[in-house]
Amino acid sequence: MGNVRLTDKAAQQVQDAGVSARMSTQVDRTGDRLVPFEESAEITTLSPATLRWMRHRGEGPPFFKVGGRRLVVWESDLYAWIEAQAAKDQAVAR
């Protein structure tokens, strides 16, 4: 499913409880939205075929299926992935 980010308060609660943040399923998604696959292709300016190939290789944004068929990604995860790609490209350029 991709990386899950906790709010500072939730991460502290998890730490206080002695539970690994990686194992926690309680995530604050307030204000976040699910972005359909087609819209994510427009946002990233990648073709749907390229995104499908990247997903197949485990290199693309952290898509998951809703209702067994529809591919979506959390908007915050999509933009975090885009930022990570930019950072990786900048690191290579240096």
Paired with 73 in beta bridges are 35
22, pLDDT greater than 70 = no
Is-above-0.95 flag for pTM? Answer: no
For residues 2-23, average pLDDT: 54
DSSP letter at 22? G
Residue 83 pLDDT greater than 60, yes or no: yes
> Mean pLDDT throughout 49-67?
96
Structural domain spans, the chain? 1-30, 32-93
Judge whether 75 and 34 are in contact, CB under 8 Å. Answer: yes
Q: Is the pLDDT assigned to residue 34 strictly greater than 50?
A: yes
Residue 16: pLDDT band (50, 70, 90) is: low
CATH number of 32-93: 1.10.1660.10
Question: Which is nearest to 20 in space by CA: 11, 8, 28?
Answer: 11
The residue among 83, 68, 93 whose CA lies nearest residue 3 is 83
